[in-house]
Structures are given as C-alpha cells and as structure tokens.
Structure 1
C-alpha cells in the first residue's frame, strides 16, 4: 500500500519540490536603519542628509539615536 501512495503524481511532486507555499507572502521592499523588514505599503521616512531609510514607527528612536533629539511630555 505504501508503494501505491508514493507513486501518486501529487506525492511524487511533493517529494521532488516540497509542499507549495499556500500562504501569500507580502512583498519585501528592503531593510530600515534598525534592520527591520520593510514591506510594500509600509510608511517610511528618508533622511536626506544620510540617505538612511527608517520605518515611520521607528522615527522617534532614529531621531534620538542619530541626532540626539529628546522627546518629553509638556507639563
């Protein structure tokens, strides 16, 4: 019985190439300053003085780390 299962066309294909990727993967557009993956549709910020690209969600950290900006809550 095992021999019959292995010789089915769909089993032969899986043995040759592996299982197909059934989950659509988002398209990759690069890596930001911190090494985070940028996907198509992500909001990014470009620093014209360095050429660095930063995910918008990392902008506050970037401004603090690179330029010494300090973010506080007004009292």
Structure 2
C-alpha cells in the first residue's frame, strides 16, 4: 500500500467538501475555488458537487514528483 493509498483509506468513496478540504489541508473556500476551476476533479449536479475519492487520488498521483509503480 502506498502512502497515498494509506492517506485515502479512511475516507468514503464519495467525499464531502469538508472531507476534501481536510484531506488536502485547505480551507473550504479554497476547495470550492479548486472545484470551480477544475483543479479538483468532480461532477456538479444542480448546486451540489460530487467528489469521488478515487478521482481525487488519481489527480494527486498525476502531479506527483515521485516515480509511480
């Protein structure tokens, strides 16, 4: 299990804004900004955001400066 897998392990498949912000160590305001500009991958349904744990983990892996297995 990678460090990233361990970081995401306790979180549910679908993340709330609060969970996403806590996971990334950012404020809710910044999380909403990142959602709006596409930095955080998500789906908008009406006024709600659907943030999938594995999509976010994949996005973080893309930006890693570490060699991936």
> Structure 2 length as normaliser, TM-score?
0.23
Higher relative contact order (CA 8 A, sep 6+): 2
Q: Which has the larger radius of gyration?
A: 1
